[in-house]
Each structure stands twice: as structure tokens, then as C-alpha cells.
Chains A and B, each alone.
Chain A
Amino acid sequence: MKRIVLLLSLVAAPAAAQQVSIPHTTFTLPNGLQVIVAEDHSTPVASVNVWYHVGSGYEKPGRTGFAHLFEHIMFEGSKNVPEGDFDNLLEAAGARNNGSTNTDRTNYYEVMPSNAVELALWLEADRMGGLLDAMSPSKLQGQRGVVQNERRQSYENQPYGMLWETASTLLYPAGHPYSWTTIGSMADLDSARVDDVNEFFRRYYAPNNASISIVGDVNTDQVRQWVTRYFSWIPRNADVERPQIALPQLAATTYTTREDRVTLPELTMIWRSDKRFSGDEAALNTLASVLTQGKSARLYKRLVYDEQIAAFTSAWNDASLLSGDFWVRVRARPDVDLDRIEAAVNEEVARIAQTPPSQEELDRVVNTMVTGFVGALETVEGKADRLNEYLYYAADPDHAEEDLARYRALTPADVQRAAQRYLAGRNHVVISFVPTGKTALAAQENQ
């Protein structure tokens, strides 16, 4: 069924020796819309995936949450599509659709039986070219309420849900576009106006600030005809400058405590790392896995398995357009002092900085990663999103092989160097979430 495929070698070979590519065709319309088409006839499904190269990192202070609120409004009808019909038409065709927003980009996608691709393209074009023809204050008002409930559901009413907002403000200086979350603040959502919607759309939602990938059981020539017909009339806009913001190093290691209605104390430590597809990203991602992925991963084994003072451990490197953050998050067992967790994390980081991980540790992580990489490409949705991601972050949709090659080339010394360069002894942010009234459990400075 789905299958992308790729020239994975069929002979028994280490996972690291496999080649992966996503055969595709690219072209650009005169108005600047970049188009990627990848045929995959293994299952009669297809995905249309539009990336607008704008996310919450393009918002202004006082207008936070706007890119995401705007994402919601994009489903509420456009010039030739009455309110509700975007979803009605797609559901009647057997399609599902959704969108997502992060700091750097907003995506919109449909997954459907392959006979509905033309319909999806028409719908995407109508809102790219005609959203404001159907804009109204009531649409904004309605989606504002929905988004505020999304925020309540995913943040306020979620144990530890305020971690993300706390972290953003501590990691980035006030005014930096990553210093707020994509969901935005309740106050800013309340103050959003229709004029803001219109201005945001005019500035960012233009064909020359977007790319579209169409993947699945389609004919490339046919898709080219449809895309040309439906999108060519939409005028290009002034080019958007990508923000280039010099980011000072963290001036000190800071400790922050939040009380929450939770039973288990939780510690989060975050270091500044490196940008997406930058030189050290693969080593940082691998370092995160060496610490917490799998039962023998260093932090998991120590805190969850051996000492049994933690409920879970996780680590990840969140790399974006402007910067990266390296996260370690440990949820402790009841009444465990977070100083003890913090000391263990620091010890394990120092240990890797002093002595590289073993080759077997590295192989476990990389081999698991390769399987996951292939698995993510089993769906047309995953493949379409990957093509847009490579185009946006690496300026090359055909980046799968290079992406994997970074991991194949890693040595234990690279992982050690990443720990030295970004973590060991570097300033970072320490956030303790503790049960209400139990602030004594929080990690403290100068313990």
C-alpha cells in the first residue's frame, strides 16, 4: 500500500547502509507558488499539503496566537465556498483534513481517495485567492471562542499544561518571536480584530510565500494542469523576509518553580542548542535518544529502572528556523525532591561529555531512527509533509537521503562533542512543577 519507496536495499545489511529517496517533480508558477508532486500508486489515496511560510514567529507582541487563530479561520469559507462547505465537500468525498501551526510555518492538508485531488486543489486555491472576500467579524468571534477552548483543554486544564508558556518566556528575551507560544495568550486572543486578520492574510498568505505538495495515486501532468489552472490567477505579493534575530546566550542558569494541581513533581531542564538542519542537529537528536530512548538509555535506566524515583523521562532537541532548544523532562515519583533528579541529569550529561557513548548505544538509536524514518513515509500524508519540510528548512525537497546520511555518518565522538558544546556546564533553564503547597520539592539553586 503506501509505499514510498525507496531504494531500500533488500540484502541483509546494517540499517545504516540503506538509501532513501522520495521520487518527485517540482515546478514553480509565475506567481511564485512552489509545487512538488510525488506519484505513489500503491494505494488509491492522495494527500494535498500546503505550507504557508508563516507561523507564530512572525507575530508581534500583543498580537500573539494570531497565526494559529488565523489557521482556524481558513476553514470557515472563502469567495466561492460558503461557511461550512470546506468540510462538507471534503467529507462527502471521503476526505479528512486539518492544519497545524508552529513557530515557523502553518500547514493545511487533505487526505482522500485519489479521485478527490482536484476538489482539494480547488478548495485550497479558493481560500488562498479569496479568503477575504468572505471575511466577517462573526467568523473571527466564533473561532476565537473555539481557540480559547482549545487553550483551556490543552493548557489550562491539562496537568503541567503551563510548562510550554513558562519555558518560552524563560528561554527567549521579551519581544523575541519564540518568547510566546503558538496558542497565544487569552488577552491577546481577546483583542484580535478583523483588521488584524485582513492584514495578516494580505501580508503572508500569498502564493510566493507558500509551497504545495501533492503525493499519492496521481498523474504528474494532470496535477500540473490543475495546479496551474487553479492557482495561477492568484497575484504574488511582496516577498516576506525571514526574521534574522541575533540571539544572546542565556546569561545565567535560572530556577523557576510553578505550583500546579498535580500529584507528581516534574523537572524540566532546557539548554539552547542549534537550528534546524544545522551542523550539530543530528548529534543533538541522537544525544537526546541516548539519554532517554529505550530501557537502557542512560536517564531512563538510572531514574526509572534502577533507582525507581521517576515515572518517566524524555529528552528531545527542538530545532527551528531561528534557534534550537534541548529539553530534558523527568516526572518524579510522589514526594521525590527534584534536586535529586537535577543532580542525576547533570551527572549523566557530564559523563557523556567526558566519555563518548559506546558504538552499540549509537547503533541502537540510529537503527531505531531509520525504521521510524521509513515508517513515517508509509503514508501519503507523512510523505507530503516531509517534502514541504525539506523544501522550507533545507531549501531542497529531495533531502531525505542527506537527512539520513547525517545519522549514518555520526560517531560516538560527535555525540560527546554535542554534549560538551551545548549542555555540560552551559547556562540553562530549570523549571520545577510541584504539587500545590510543596514548593520545598523544587530544584533549588546552589543545592
Chain B
Amino acid sequence: MKRTLATIAAGAALSACAPAAQEPETAPAPSPAQQQPAAPAAAAFPTTAPSTSAAPRIDLPDAVRRTLPNGLKVVYIQQRELPVVSALMLTRGAGTGDEPANASGLASFTASMLDEGAGGKNSLQLADALDLLGASLTTSAGVDAAQANLYVLKQNFPAALRLMADVVTRPDFPQREVDRLRQERLTQLARARDEATTIANYAFSSLVYGEQHPYGRYPTQATTERLNRAAVAAFHARGYRPENSTLILVGDVDPAQMEPLVEQAFGSWRATGTGPSLTATPATPAALNRTTVYLVDKPGAAQSEIRIGHPGVARNTPDYYALLVMNTLLGASFTSRLNTNLRETHGWAYGASSGYQMLRGAGPFTARAGVQTNATDSSVVEFFKELNRIRTEDVTEAELDKARRYVALRLPDQLETTSDIAAQYGNLETYGIDPSFLETYVERTMAVTAADLRRVANQYVRPGQSVVVVVGDRSKVEAGLRAANVGTVVVRDVSEFVK
């Protein structure tokens, strides 16, 4: 591959997107490099790039919204070109951010347990029934919501939806499967310490937020061993509630045809007791007053995994568009400054990137790369150069325009498949963002100015208050890191983070 850019999800999806978004009349003018003088002679190969015509508009059908008597919201989005259905059941209050502090891993364990026996079928019977329908059903927990994703040909949708309903609303949590999955989790953890990227990610989040914070804790052997049937059942009973859930159906889904199926499948879903708070947001840790470099020794590593950052910003920030454009220019596209510097100019990395994980609370800002061992210190220095430069130097109009257009014009690509559309609507639902957001997305992205960009860079990029994690061969990189002098160097052990 030419490149792999690790993308850091901003509130799960790349950027929220708009159906019915239209290119503004101000349809982005061709950038100077694209301008073309007169029409060239028919046979000659033109020496300048053809200009692009006005960007197309997207016409998505309206979403039809319904609410069942039990509070379950249902969104139907009809796309009739193919007889397929993507169904997304999104449940707020059942994510990793909703776990009890001493139960890291419980949300994802509960999600994994959903299809291990439900509605009278055991684990294997459920799997066989889905496979026979050619359906794929996956269950998972994000930070702010749990998800069940179904993808199936329309003709098999009614049967698959019933299985999905069993899985989400009537799981059995058989003891045997709890024991088996717990053992699988312990095996995964044992393996996690083999991977430099996992070590770096765990170390970074815990050092930025602290191990008590929902964004800083992660599963350990101790929390995994504590997972049990009672905890899973209680987490399910409390978190998986119709009034906290939204079912998004995209594809060949005529609401008139589908409503009876949905009511039959989910109408009897009832929750008991009280549910989790959906409004509380985790506190943002106090800003650090200096930058510290944490070196985690991985003897023999062929590269150093670098993470640099600090708490970022919540999804509901009014600076959303400015941040999207700023971060695109800094580290979220192939031509971004970080990738250009570390990869194209220096050749030290296969790719370098940055991103904001925008959550209900302020998720992390992270800049990252895997770099060749002998360029570890130089790479950290170049990271800091770029993090400082975006705060202190005005961007050029061409750079700004490219980033704005890249963010705005990829909209159709992000709404291409039924699953794409379901994910975008799910993201809006998770963060309570008004659907009108979608209609103004392109316009608001294109309205970001150089001044906006510099303002948000100063507010949300803080190189002097950062955590730097380097996972690499200490014997080869420590001296250089100390000499680079970007912050105090502290040596830590893998076992402090993967434990």
C-alpha cells in the first residue's frame, strides 16, 4: 500500500455528514494549481490539470422517524437500489463510559455475551441460524453507546431482525459461555503485551487521564477475572433499555412494510429499575503544567511507537468544523503537515497522523506514528515543531482551502453504503446532534477561516502540556530522547500498562 493513515475517529465517525447536503453556490473555485487557461487543442495532452466542474449534490431520502410505545426510536431510511438492509441498534448508557469504575471491560464483555445464547437458542444455534440466512450480526461497545449491527439481504431481513431482537433484548448469558469468553479475554490480554501499538495506546490513555477516569482505564487481568454472570446481567438490565435505544434501518425498507416487523420484534421490550444517566459527562482532567516523555522499554523493537497529546474536546463543541479543518491540515490527510514531514520529507515513518476523539466528554487529542528506531528523538522533535507551528504561523490560503475542500467534498463518499449511512445517523443520535447539522455541513466547513483555525489550534493543541509515550528499544533511544529535551524523560515498564 502506498500508505496507511491511522484515522482517529472523531466521535466514532470521521466527520458527521449530511444527507441533502448541497455544494454551496460558492462552489469551491478551482485552486490555482487547477486553473486551466483556454481549452487546449483536441489532440494535445494538456500540461495543466483539468478544472473540476461544480461538485454534485447529494439527495438522500428523508428519514422517517417513529417511536414505539416502549420508547424505542426507529429511523427508516429508504435506499432501494439494492435489496439489502443495514440495521443498527444503538443503545446509549451501555458503553465503556458507563461502566462502574472497577469494572473495566464490562461493557464490551456484555456486548460480546449478547449473542452467546438468547431467546431460546444457544450460542451455536444462534450463529447457525444467522449464517443460514447469510446475515452478519455483530455486537460491540463504544465509549458512549453499545451497538448491534446487522447486514442481510432484504428477503432474509424479517427472520434476521427477530434474531437481532432476541440478542439485544433477551440474552441468556449462559454460565458456560461467560466462563469461556472470560478465558478468551484473558488470553487476549496476555497477547496484548506483544504489540507495541497496544502498549502505546494503553499507556497514553492512562497517563493522560489517570486510571480512574473512564477514558483512562482499560481492562486488566484483575478486572477481567472479576467479570461474572451477575455483573453482566446487571449491566444489561440497567443499560439496555428501549427508551435509550434507537434502531436505524437503511436499505430497501419501506416503513409501511417494516413497522409491523419492528413492533413484533421489539414491542415487548421492557426495562426495569432505573437506567444510567445520559447527561453526565466525565470531567476533563486539569491541564498538565509541563510535558513529560514516558519511555516504555520494548527490547529489540524494530520501530518506536510514538503518541503525543492531552485531553481534547467534547463532540458538542461549537468549534467542531474549525477543529475538523485544522486537524485535517495538521495530521488527518495524506498531505497533512505531520505526514509530509515525517514520511515524505524525512522517510522516518510509513505514516504520521493526528486526531481528536470527540466524545460526550473531552476525549484525547493524539498525534502518532511508528518511526524507525534511530530516528526516534528526531521524530519527536519534528512532531513538536509541527504542533507549535500550527499555533504560531498563519496557514496559507492554499493549504486552508485544500483542507476545507477535502473535509467538505468527501461527504458523498462517506454516505455511499447502507452501513455508512446507518453509522452517520448513529453518530448523530449518540451525541444528540440536531439533524439540521447535516444540511449545513458543507457550508459551515467551507466557512472556516485562517483566523478560526489559528484560534482553535491555540486552544486545543498544547504541546507544552503534553504526555509523550515512546514504546521502543530503550537501549537505543533513551539517550537521544534525553538530549532532545522536549520534556523530562521517565522510564516506565510494560507491566505497568498491560497488567
Kindly supply a per-residue 1/0 record for chain A positions 400-437, scoring 1 wherever the CB is within 8 Å of any chain B CB and 0 otherwise: 00000000000000000000000000000000000000
CA distance A84 to B370 in the complex (A): 22
The reply to whether B128 and A296 contact each other, CB–CB distance below 8 Å, is: yes
Interface centre among B1, B154, B193, B420 (most CB of A within 10 A): B1
CB neighbours (8 Å) of B334 from chain A are 87, 91
The reply to whether A374 and B153 contact each other, CB–CB distance below 8 Å, is: yes
- A175 in contact (CB, < 8 A): no
The reply to whether B152 and A98 contact each other, CB–CB distance below 8 Å, is: no
Kindly supply a per-residue 1/0 record for chain A positions 142-184, scoring 1 wherever the CB is within 8 Å of any chain B CB and 0 otherwise: 1111101110111011110000000000000000000000000
CB neighbours (8 Å) of B439 from chain A are none
Stretch at the interface among B181-189, B461-469, B482-490: B181-189
The smallest beta-carbon distance between B304 and chain A, in angstroms, is 9
With known contacts A85-B33, A100-B1, A378-B84, A2–B402 Cβ distance under 8 A = no
CB neighbours (8 Å) of B184 from chain A are 304, 311
- A364 in contact (CB, < 8 A): yes
- B73 in contact (CB, < 8 A): no
The reply to whether B190 and A334 contact each other, CB–CB distance below 8 Å, is: yes
The reply to whether B45 and A88 contact each other, CB–CB distance below 8 Å, is: no
With known contacts A5-B81, A98-B3, A119-B49, A296–B127 Cβ distance under 8 A = yes
The reply to whether B49 and A8 contact each other, CB–CB distance below 8 Å, is: no
The smallest beta-carbon distance between A48 and chain B, in angstroms, is 13
The smallest beta-carbon distance between A132 and chain B, in angstroms, is 15
CA distance A296 to B123 in the complex (A): 10
Residue of B nearest to A94 (CB): B409
CB neighbours (8 Å) of B52 from chain A are 93, 115-116, 118-119
CA distance A380 to B420 in the complex (A): 13
- B134 in contact (CB, < 8 A): yes
With known contacts A93-B405, A146-B350, A153-B303, A84–B413 Cβ distance under 8 A = no
Within 8 A of A (CB), among B337-355: 340, 343-350
The reply to whether B79 and A368 contact each other, CB–CB distance below 8 Å, is: no
CB neighbours (8 Å) of B60 from chain A are 1
CA distance A95 to B402 in the complex (A): 11
- A315 in contact (CB, < 8 A): no
CB neighbours (8 Å) of B102 from chain A are none
- A30 in contact (CB, < 8 A): no
With known contacts A80-B48, A364-B132, A371-B136, A71–B2 Cβ distance under 8 A = yes
CB neighbours (8 Å) of B187 from chain A are 264, 311, 333-334
CB neighbours (8 Å) of A261 from chain B are 194, 300
- B55 in contact (CB, < 8 A): yes
The reply to whether A149 and B349 contact each other, CB–CB distance below 8 Å, is: yes
- B285 in contact (CB, < 8 A): no
CA distance A364 to B303 in the complex (A): 43
The smallest beta-carbon distance between A205 and chain B, in angstroms, is 16
With known contacts A80-B47, A217-B56, A43–B131 Cβ distance under 8 A = no
- A60 in contact (CB, < 8 A): no
The reply to whether A123 and B406 contact each other, CB–CB distance below 8 Å, is: no
CA distance A96 to B3 in the complex (A): 12
The smallest beta-carbon distance between B45 and chain A, in angstroms, is 5
- A250 in contact (CB, < 8 A): no
CA distance A364 to B83 in the complex (A): 19
Kindly supply a per-residue 1/0 record for chain B positions 55-74, scoring 1 wherever the CB is within 8 Å of any chain A CB and 0 otherwise: 11110100000000000000
- B151 in contact (CB, < 8 A): yes
CB neighbours (8 Å) of A152 from chain B are 302-303, 350, 370, 372
With known contacts A98-B2, A152-B370, A308-B183, A10–B155 Cβ distance under 8 A = yes
- Give the residue of A129, A217, A372, A379 whose beta carbon is less than 8 angstroms from that of B45: A129
- A251 in contact (CB, < 8 A): no
Stretch at the interface among A11-19, A239-247, A345-353, A439-447: A11-19
The reply to whether A123 and B49 contact each other, CB–CB distance below 8 Å, is: yes
Kindly supply a per-residue 1/0 record for chain A positions 78-115, scoring 1 wherever the CB is within 8 Å of any chain B CB and 0 otherwise: 00110011011101111111111000000000011111
The reply to whether A371 and B348 contact each other, CB–CB distance below 8 Å, is: no
The smallest beta-carbon distance between A83 and chain B, in angstroms, is 9
- Give the residue of A45, A111, A364, A368 whose beta carbon is less than 8 angstroms from that of B136: A368
The reply to whether A119 and B48 contact each other, CB–CB distance below 8 Å, is: no
CA distance A12 to B132 in the complex (A): 14
With known contacts A115-B56, A122-B49, A296-B127, A1–B402 Cβ distance under 8 A = no
- B113 in contact (CB, < 8 A): no
The smallest beta-carbon distance between A228 and chain B, in angstroms, is 10
With known contacts A119-B50, A159-B195, A230–B45 Cβ distance under 8 A = yes
CB neighbours (8 Å) of B413 from chain A are 45, 94, 96, 111-113
- A72 in contact (CB, < 8 A): yes
The reply to whether A153 and B370 contact each other, CB–CB distance below 8 Å, is: yes
The reply to whether A93 and B344 contact each other, CB–CB distance below 8 Å, is: no
- Give the residue of B43, B53, B335 whose beta carbon is less than 8 angstroms from that of A88: B335
- B415 in contact (CB, < 8 A): yes
Kindly supply a per-residue 1/0 record for chain B positions 401-433, scoring 1 wherever the CB is within 8 Å of any chain A CB and 0 otherwise: 110011011111101111111000000000000
- A3 in contact (CB, < 8 A): yes
- A61 in contact (CB, < 8 A): no
The reply to whether B58 and A93 contact each other, CB–CB distance below 8 Å, is: no
The reply to whether B57 and A92 contact each other, CB–CB distance below 8 Å, is: no
Residue of B nearest to A159 (CB): B194
CB neighbours (8 Å) of A230 from chain B are 45
The reply to whether A98 and B1 contact each other, CB–CB distance below 8 Å, is: yes
CB neighbours (8 Å) of A81 from chain B are 49
CB neighbours (8 Å) of A158 from chain B are 195
Within 8 A of B (CB), among A30-72: 42-45, 71-72
Residue of B nearest to A44 (CB): B56
- B392 in contact (CB, < 8 A): no
CB neighbours (8 Å) of A43 from chain B are 58, 412, 415-416
The reply to whether B370 and A96 contact each other, CB–CB distance below 8 Å, is: no
- B31 in contact (CB, < 8 A): yes
The reply to whether B128 and A92 contact each other, CB–CB distance below 8 Å, is: no
CB neighbours (8 Å) of A113 from chain B are 55-56, 409-413
- B287 in contact (CB, < 8 A): no
Residue of A nearest to B84 (CB): A374
CA distance A66 to B247 in the complex (A): 49
The reply to whether B347 and A145 contact each other, CB–CB distance below 8 Å, is: yes
Residue of B nearest to A118 (CB): B50
- Give the residue of B81, B153, B347 whose beta carbon is less than 8 angstroms from that of A42: B81
The smallest beta-carbon distance between B171 and chain A, in angstroms, is 15
CB neighbours (8 Å) of B417 from chain A are 1-2, 375, 378-379
- B46 in contact (CB, < 8 A): yes
The reply to whether B151 and A89 contact each other, CB–CB distance below 8 Å, is: no
8 new A-B contacts at CB < 8 Å, known A92-B406, A368-B131? A44-B56, A44-B58, A44-B412, A80-B49, A96-B413, A142-B347, A149-B350, A154-B350
Q: Across chains A and B, which 5 residue pairs bring their CB atoms closest together, nearest first?
A: A94-B409, A145-B347, A3-B81, A44-B56, A367-B134
Q: Name 9 A/B residue pairs within 8 A (Cβ), A-sorted.
A: A43-B58, A87-B335, A152-B350, A156-B302, A296-B124, A301-B124, A305-B180, A311-B187, A368-B131
Task: Please give the residue numbers on chain B whose beta carbons come within 8 Å of chain A beta carbons, in ascending order.
Answer: 1-3, 31, 33-34, 42-43, 45-50, 52-58, 60, 79, 81-84, 123-124, 127-128, 131-136, 151-156, 180, 183-184, 187-188, 190-191, 193-196, 300-303, 333-335, 340, 343-350, 370-372, 401-402, 405-406, 408-413, 415-421
